[in-house]
Amino acid sequence: MPPVVRFAPSPTGYIHIGNIRTALLNWCVGKRVGGQFILRYDDTDTARSRQEYADAIRQDLIWLGMVPDLELRQSDRLSLYDTTTARLRAAGRLYPCYETEEELDRRRALQKARGLPPVYDRAALKLTDMQKAALEAEGRRPHWRFLLNHRRVEWEDGVRGPAHIDTSSLSDPVLVRADGSYLYTLTSVIDDIDLGVTHIIRGEDHVTNTAVQIEIFEALGGRVPVFAHHNLLTTLSGEGLSKRTGALSIRSLREDGFEPMAVSSLALLTGTSEAVRPVASLEELAKLVDLSRISRAPARFDPAEIQVLNARLLHETPYAEVADRLVALGVGGGETFWQVVRSNIVKLAETKNWWDVVTGPVASDVEDTAFLSRAAAVLPPGPWDETTWSIWTDAVKAETGAKGKALFMPLRQALTGLDHGPELKGLLPLIGRERVLERLKREF
């Protein structure tokens, strides 16, 4: 059967390039063989979830080309969670606990002092009905823990290979808070069963949840998906990324003018056996994904590399793919202009700067007006093409004796106002003879 994958962000901030790494891995594994890509907002944290963040997440995914096949919110599925939780309670897999957080902290501290692991001791299982009633009469409301089987849970991880966790080393996890709200550990499993998710691809920070969730899958009679835990993107100093800081958010990268495939290429290829390079499409990127070839080490990357990838991507982009965007920027010149300037830009918006150079006016500070006057005198007649620059500079060299930098730099500065830029053999015909004469003669 075609795979069913999901990306399940919490709408509590703007997602960053590390979050998109997870989304891309899921999209590539699912869509390259005709599977389904689900966007699920894990928004049961009502205190921090915001509609504006959910909207931004969808916009970011669509900008990157990952259009969801299905989109849903956990906040709309509470009745399903209620029904399923009742099943777990009836089966004796969820049990009520009345300890306060302070009491649990003291108990953990005591266990550590005795050299014992700070694992919940299941004291609540020993409470009688009368004791429970007395605690509730005091105003306490129970939180509900899942009764683990305390066994070795094994799975074949798509990235890490054979993996296992002994759940006897874990505390029975709280799945329902005292206020009745649900934790991700439970709702995620319920959704994955209900939606038929076949592959769960997520960051390695979720590895410790996997054994617990496998036991929940089994307790609910659901098919256990394939799990794969990839390495996380970090800064060069090894710091993790956070939605709270807004570091390298997709929203900010988009607003800064980066190309979606430059962002996707960096996010996905960093920390794999593939060389980090600009890839032209998600379909091509999907062909490069091999979960088993993702490194186990943290994927450290240099944010400045986005600039390099963006430039390389644009340098290889055909005119047809940017034509409408150039028009929207107010850039003319068609394909000829694009071919001339694309190797001199890092972001597409910079083409407007070069179009302004072509159409003028430009300012320069060339002091040798006599040289410019003699250059203007030997300016070739039209029409002009890519050979005109060579013909003209040969004539200027013969007329003035200038050569090398002394020949080319004053002409470049007078014509463009800059000491760098696209090759003038391509730029000169776009500027045109009339504007060239104006720029040469205004100096004297």
List binding-site positions for ATP: 243
Which residue in this structure is represented by tokens 């107010």? Answer: 330
Look at residues 211, 217, 187 and name the one whose alpha carbon lies nearest to residue 42: 187
Which residue in this structure is represented by tokens 């070795």? Answer: 152
Element (H, E) at 7: strand 4-7
Q: What are the Cα distances from residue 91, in Å, to 84, 171, 277?
A: 11, 19, 52
CA–CA dist 177, 354 (Å, integer): 60
Residue type, 116: L
CA–CA dist 251, 172 (Å, integer): 38
Number of other residues whose CB lies within 10 A of the CB of residue 359: 15
Contact 164/152 with Cβ under 8 angstroms?
Answer: yes
Q: Structure tokens of 51?
A: 């509609």
Q: Where are the alpha helices (DSSP H) in 288-384?
A: 305-315, 323-328, 334-341, 351-359, 369-377
Give me the DSSP letters along 91-145.
TT-EEEE---HHHHHHHHHHHHHTT-------GGGG--HHHHHHHHHTT---EEE
CA–CA dist 236, 114 (Å, integer): 40
Question: What residues does 161 pair with on adjacent strands?
Answer: 157
Q: Structure tokens of 264?
A: 């996707």
CA–CA dist 201, 187 (Å, integer): 17
Backbone angles phi, psi at 37, to 5 degrees: -115, 115
Contact 411/366 with Cβ under 8 angstroms?
Answer: no
CA angle 209, 212, 217 (to 5 degrees): 115
Number of helices (H), then strands (E), belonging to the chain: the values are 19, 12
Instruction: Specify binding-site residues.
Output: 243
